[in-house]
Amino acid sequence: MEEALSGQLSRTVLVRIRSALPSLRPSERAIAELVLADPSRAATMSIGDLAGQGGTSTTSVVRFYKKVGYSGYSDLRLDLARETARESLANNVPAGVYEDINTSDSLRDIVSKIAFNETMSIADTAQVLDVDKLAQAVQAISTSRRTDIFGVGAGGLVGEDLQQKLHRIGLTSFSWSDPHAALASAALLDGDGVAVAVSHSGTTVDTVDFLLAAKAAGATTIAVTNHADSALGRTADIVLSTAARETTFRSGAMGSRIAQMMVVDCLFVGVAQHSHEASVAALQKTHAAVQGRKLLRGNASA
């Protein structure tokens, strides 16, 4: 009978009604049974409708929901809607979304499976992603003078995406798709440079060579891969792990691409935030630096 029941903590509307049943008057009970019989329909009816269907009056409906513990009809109604929504979701997981896509699937099945697969790839990656490593990567990129990015195939697109993003916030970066150009550029990096390699398997020779060259040149190396213990993962200073559920259908590489993209997004937002803080900090420093001189002048130029 407490107050707290309305709103979020209310998963028990139906339970409450059921347990209140014995203490209800006949006409109130008629309403209760109507509600229990089809809660989702009840949620859409007005007090008047409900009274009509139950062969009773609006007053009895009011008495009913007060006894069940609600202070207003819309509270009951909303909880009813919420509860039924939950239930319909529970047994709504489309069958077979775990399976790989096969030729007998309808387009609807395909959409479900892809959505499920990609969703899970993101969720799993969020889980697996090491925040400390991410922080190191953010730090490295934020403070680097230049960032070289390399990936082949799908990884190349992800790399390009990162490059576009970094460029937009004023950081110097290059995305290479040609192995030779990438190698050449990596070799020219120095201690202030960063190299990022994107590869699902972590076994592509070109990608590993790229990181090795960057490392030899003294740069900080970052790998985005599903397999931290691959050649690529072992080479990199910082490994950002994805956790893609790879479907094999026509090697669409969908899960891995989505997961890589998600990691890149995190990296980008981290860097954007970091450099934002850095510039604020820099501003404060310069501000402090001129502060001592201000007393003498009317206005100091920054």
Residues in contact with DNA by CB under 7 A are 25-28, 46-48, 55-60, 62-63, 65, 72-74, 77
CB 102 within 8 A of CB 247: no
* Interaction partner, residue 287 (DNA, a copy of itself, none; CB < 5-8 Å by kind): none
| Cβ contact 212:82 at 8 Å | no
State the virtual CA torsion across 110, 114, 116, 122 in degrees, nearest 10. Answer: 180
Q: Report the partner that residue 63 touches, choosing among DNA, a copy of itself, none (CB closer than 5 to 8 A by kind).
A: DNA
17, 32, 228, 262: residue in contact with a copy of itself (rule CB under 8 A): 262
Q: Could you say which of a copy of itself, DNA, none residue 282 binds, taking C-beta under 5 to 8 angstroms by partner kind?
A: none
What is the C-alpha separation between 98 and 108, in angstroms, rounded? 15
Run of H or E residues at 174: strand 173-176
Q: What would the two tokens of residue 287 be?
A: 């501000």
Residue 106: CB atoms within 10 A of its CB come to 8
Asked if 281 interacts with a copy of itself (CB under 8 A), we say no
> Judged by CB, which is closer to DNA: 20, or 162?
20
Q: Cβ closer to DNA: 65 or 268?
A: 65
Of 28 and 118, nearer to DNA (C-beta) is 28
State the nearest-atom distance from the C-beta of 26 to DNA, in Å: 3
88 binds a copy of itself (CB under 8 A): yes
Site string for a copy of itself, 190-219 (x = CB under 8 A): ------------------------------
Tokens of 89: 């979701």
Long-range contacts of 162-168 (CB under 8 A, 24+ apart): 162/196, 162/198, 162/264, 162/267, 162/268, 165/264, 165/268, 166/141, 166/268, 166/271
User: Using CA atoms, how far apart are residues 63 and 67, in angstroms rounded to an integer?
Assistant: 6
Interacting residues with a copy of itself (CB under 8 A): 6-8, 40, 43-44, 74-75, 77-78, 81-86, 88-91, 101, 103, 105, 107-108, 110-112, 114-115, 118-119, 122-123, 125-126, 129, 131, 134-135, 138, 153-154, 157, 160-161, 164-165, 168-169, 249-252, 254, 257-258, 261-262, 265-266, 268-270, 272-273, 276-277, 280
